[in-house]
Chain A
Amino acid sequence: GDSVTQMEGPVTLSEEAFLTINCTYTATGYPSLFWYVQYPGEGLQLLLKATKADDKGSNKGFEATYRKETTSFHLEKGSVQVSDSAVYFCALSDSGGGADGLTFGKGTHLIIQP
């Protein structure tokens, strides 16, 4: 079955540092890939997505590129802020948007220190 593996946290960085959170996946076919963010005490918010190979999703300074050859969708940001502290989930869907459900990674807790 489908699965998503992402780096375990917590990941602790200083403000303005470069961020990479690794995500790899296993799926049949050509899934859509997502990054969701969860701020403390809240539900999940879509951060970015990519629906086909070589697509780059971007939002709020975060980027991730759909790499079919390495089955990866790593999340990057050039200069993190304290407000980026949250839990980040990588996810995939076989149905384009997620209407048939999402397969999530276990989440990576990101802590940004001033």
Chain B
Amino acid sequence: GAVVSQHPSRVICKSGTSVKIECRSLDFQATTMFWYRQFPKQSLMLMATSNEGSKATYEQGVEKDKFLINHASLTLSTLTVTSAHPEDSSFYICSAPRDRASPLHFGNGTRLTVT
């Protein structure tokens, strides 16, 4: 079964509002979680690395103030898209490593549509 749960799976919001996406590790503690954005034609872009108890590390070109990441506990990271615009519409995927030797586990993704 799934070891990383992502919620919601789909969300539609109006332009200017904020949307929060949750990523939970279900049966392990994750000090690190990764947030990806998937563009049309499937290309995956790493947005940021979420670190429990400290600030997230953002990739170059990703706006920190627009994509707020909070890793408040060892099993939960959240991505908040603030003041969403239609160009933020995308598929967002989180992932977490169970440990250093294991492959990354991915959530099922969140389809965000901003109208």
Contact B42 A42 (CB under 8 A): no
A95 and B109 in contact (CB under 8 A), knowing A43-B93, A107-B44?
no
Given A42-B108, A43-B107, answer yes or no on A97-B99 (Cβ-Cβ < 8 Å): yes
Q: How far is the CA of A43 from the CA of B4 in the complex (A)?
A: 10
Interface: B61 (CB within 8 A): no
Q: Using Cβ atoms and an 8 Å threshold, which residues of chain B touch A99?
A: 32, 97, 99-100, 104
Whether B78 is near chain A, meaning CB under 8 Å from some CB there, is: no
- The yes or no answer to A104 lying at the interface (CB within 8 A) is yes
**In angstroms, how far is the closest chain B Cβ from the Cβ of A44?**
4
Residues on B with beta carbons closer than 8 Å to the beta carbon of A102:
104
On chain A, the number of residues with a Cβ less than 8 Å from chain B's Cβ atoms is 23
B28 to chain A, nearest CB (A): 12
Which residue of chain B has the shortest Cβ distance to A48 in the bound complex?
B103
Known contacts: A43-B6, A46-B103, A87-B42. The answer to whether A98 contacts B109 by CB under 8 A is: no
- Give 28 pairs: A residue, B residue, CB < 8 Å, sorted on A: A41-B109, A41-B111, A42-B108, A43-B93, A43-B107, A43-B108, A44-B93, A44-B95, A46-B103, A46-B104, A46-B105, A87-B42, A89-B44, A96-B100, A96-B101, A97-B99, A97-B102, A97-B103, A97-B104, A98-B97, A98-B102, A99-B32, A99-B97, A99-B104, A106-B42, A106-B43, A107-B41, A107-B42
Question: Using a CB–CB distance below 8 Å, which chain A residues touch chain B?
Answer: 34, 36, 38, 41-46, 49, 87, 89, 95-99, 101-102, 104, 106-107, 109
